[in-house]
Amino acid sequence: MSTYTQILYQIVFSTWSREKTLAENRRDDLFKYIAGILQNKKCHLYRINGVEEHLHIVTDIHPTVALANVVKDVKLASSDWIKKNKVFQNFNGWQEGYGGFTYSLKEKDALIEYVKNQQQHHKIKTFREEYILLLQEHGIEFEEKYLF
């Protein structure tokens, strides 16, 4: 019997202490690097985008790969790449945790559009406001004191 899945994830994580170190002029290089990591993990990347202090990744994940392992590998490899290639000045790594949210296939186009428009979105909302809203929309209980 074959394995079939359809799980669309939005993965969100921030730079260490939400430092605004992801300069716009090099973000596309970072996105391409992360796309390669995901491809090597048998994931299908639909969209990646972000602003100075955080990223959003819309992807599906191969059923043989755990979400936590994908995020760990993306963070470790991209952090090493950033530091070795001096891509972002003052980059001190990624935050410890992450948000992993699932969506139905019907929501895919709207989710991709949402992630595509992060720069405009963050002219209105802070990352903290956005993250709390995502947690609430997905019914995830949290304590604000643990949000970065």
| Phi, psi torsion values for 79, nearest 5 degrees | -65, -45
Given a cut of 80, whether residue 1 has pLDDT beyond it is no
**Which CATH number among 3.30.70.1290, 3.30.450.40, 3.40.50.720, 1.10.10.60 corresponds to the domain 8-146?**
3.30.70.1290
**pLDDT class of 146 with cuts at 50, 70, 90:** confident
Residue pair 7/59 in contact (Cβ under 8 Å)? The answer is no
Predicted confidence (pLDDT) per residue in 86-119, tens digit: 999 999 999 999 999 999 999 999 999 999 999 8
Given a cut of 80, whether residue 67 has pLDDT beyond it is yes
Given a cut of 70, whether residue 123 has pLDDT beyond it is yes
Domain boundaries, the chain: 8-146
DSSP notation for 104-143: -GGGHHHHHHHHHTHHHHTTTS-HHHHHHHHHHHTT----
